[in-house]
Amino acid sequence: MKCPFCTYAESKVIDSRPTDEGERIRRRRECLKCGKRFTTYEVVETLPIVVVKSDNSRQPFDGEKLLNGLLRACANRPVSLETLQGVVDDIEVKLQSSLDREVSSKYIGELAMEKLKSIDEVSYVRFASVYRQFKDINSFMEELSKLLKEK
């Protein structure tokens, strides 16, 4: 690590501590030439996830966009923001841990519906109705029937 004071390339680590709930590591370093101390932060580098939309357009994965969709589905329902943020985090971790850098929006929607089904069934049906673009009451009733059979 290059010293910010004298630009010497060698330094030693004096102290290391996790920060941000273990997401980053804070390191205190000392320059081996000038002896001045400085702080660096180490972060795991993540590769971007590209979402392939139904029209074959591509865009970077945006957890906020997914969270907003979940919030709309859970409006006036007893589901906390923390729970929904956990759903988004779980989905993002699953996507990051897969070897695929391109993921279909359909797959992300299926993951979200799977999570919502166990959290709140009404929110699940709301999300599914928008996500699967129910054309009429029959397609809506089919989804409700599936849900009732699983119980």
> What digits encode the pLDDT tens for the residues 111-137?
999 999 899 988 988 888 877 776 667
Torsion of CA 34, 38, 41, 45, to 10 degrees: -30
Tell me the whole-structure pTM to 2 decimals. Answer: 0.64
Any domain includes 2: no
Whether residue 87 is contained in a domain is answered as yes
In a domain, 22, yes or no: yes
Do 38 and 55 lie in a common domain?
Answer: no
Range of the structural domain that residue 136 is part of: 50-150
> Which helix (DSSP H) or strand (DSSP E) does residue 140 occupy?
helix 137-150
Residues 146 and 104 in one domain: yes
32 and 57 share one domain = no
Is 6 a domain residue? no
DSSP 8-state code for residue 47: P
Structural domain count of the chain: 2
pLDDT tens-digit readout, 41-94: 898 777 889 999 989 999 999 999 999 999 999 999 999 999 999 999 999 989
